Homo-oligomer: A and B are copies of this chain.
Amino acid sequence: MPTIIQKFGGTSLSDPLRIRRAAQRVADARQSGFDLVVVASAMGAMTDDLIDLAEQVSPMPDRRELDMLLATGEQASVALLAMALREIGCPASSLTGGQAGIRTDGVHGRARITRIECGRLERMISRREVPVVAGFQGTSDDGEVTTLGRGGSDTTAVAIAAVLRVAESGGYCEIFTDVDGVYTADPRLVRAAVKLPRISYEEMLELATLGAGVIHARAVLFGDKYGVPIHVRHSQKPDHGTMISRENPDMEELAVVGCALKDDLGRVSIRQIKNAVGLQGRIFTALAHANIVVDDIMQTEQGSATMIAFTVDHADLSDSKQIVAKMLQEMGEGEMSVEVGLSKVSVVGVGMKSHAGVASRMFRALGEAGVAIHNITTSEIKISCIIDSAKGQQSLEAVHSTFGLGLGTNATMAMQLDSSQP
């Protein structure tokens, strides 16, 4: 039988009742004959509560000690889940990340998995016992407790699926969460949005980065690298969710599979500056040193002068402004302007590599909806437009509609409608 890795997020384990429900789901899958490994996050808001506690003791808590503290969250939830499994007669044992063989580098707070010593997991599976592994954590080679950073439990699950080669026997990784799956757009914003039965790693990666918080981008990257199919589904409903996997070459590609909206952006624009070698490196290194995550970067030239603009989360705008202002003063040239209240609407689809006219169609739809486009950035499978936040939802609906994403009950219908309009 195939091996399935089941990962339960914090909201799926937020109280004893939900823990017992998750246990029943695991026991049912085992009863159906599957071999299983379970990965669990900390209960509900426990990680945030622990961080609050740490900050009351030390405003900038030591990273090693914060890892020791945060690791207790997942350890508690796997112990409780294993108890609940044993209670209903399902043989199970909890394992810390270290006990499960998850080895990481020593970078506390954002450690990377270096290898998984999976002997213990394999021995448990071979005797039909369910390992319940603490997600988000591991140990370094010198036995220190490390954490993988936010979204780390998804990564743990996909990495275990990769090292156990579950795909070879038809297995996959199930991510149980509090949403039904991946939608053509955020269903809270676009009423017509439909659930996608499948999506490629690349598309999911773009959507994850663009604000569709269903699964962490890092886990998708891991899945892509090792070919692990990832099934994202609702923890409290039996329905099929969305399967993230390699592009299926037999299937005609969708030009656009989904769209996303990212709010609360600010933009810093620099004008009247000479495009000297190393200019861009200097600006963005200074921002990185201040831990500012830059969203998109745009550059255009006009004669010998350059214009560089970038977007950041609104929370980082004030720091960004100060850093750039200081730099321009040092250089003795350039003008800076800052805009707030911006959003980014994006469309994503592997098919746009081969379908012409996706960009023009998106711009036309925004124009017809009366939305001004402030900036444009593109990748091979994504087009993003910076717009006024006030027009955010309207833009998302216009784009969702022009690509026919909501018209079908599944993505295949959406694709056909799209292909029929050049």
Contacts and interface: CB of A to CB of B under 8 A. Distances in A.
A117 interface: no
A83 B62 contact: yes
A416 interface: no
A19 B57 contact: yes
A143 interface: yes
Contacts of A367: none
A139 B96 CA distance: 13
Nearest to A87: B58
A86 interface: yes
B53 A80 contact: yes
B84 A78 contact: no
A156 interface: no
Given A71-B75, A75-B75, A66 B54 contact: no
A157 to B, nearest CB: 19
Contacts of A86: 58, 62, 65
B68 A79 contact: yes
Given A16-B56, A57-B20, A69 B64 contact: no
A269 interface: no
Q: How large is the interface on A (under 10, 10 to 19, 20 to 34, 35 or more residues)?
A: 35 or more
Interface string A63-103: 01110110111011011101110110000011010010000
A24 to B, nearest CB: 12
A56 B81 CA distance: 11
A50 interface: yes
A83 B65 contact: yes
B57 A83 contact: yes
A83 B61 contact: yes
A79 B65 contact: yes
Interface string A124-143: 00000000000000000001
Contacts of A62: 82-83, 86
Contacts of A20: 57
6 contacts: A57-B84, A65-B79, A65-B82, A65-B86, A66-B83, A71-B75
| List of 9 A-B pairs having minimum Cβ-Cβ separation, nearest first | A16-B56, A69-B79, A68-B79, A72-B72, A58-B87, A58-B83, A65-B83, A57-B84, A65-B82
Interface of A: 16, 19-20, 50, 53-54, 56-59, 61-62, 64-66, 68-69, 71-73, 75-76, 78-80, 82-84, 86-87, 93-94, 96, 99, 143, 145
Given A61-B83, A65-B83, A68-B78, 16 more contacts: A53-B80, A54-B80, A57-B80, A57-B84, A57-B87, A58-B86, A59-B87, A62-B83, A65-B82, A65-B93, A68-B79, A68-B94, A69-B83, A72-B72, A72-B73, A72-B79
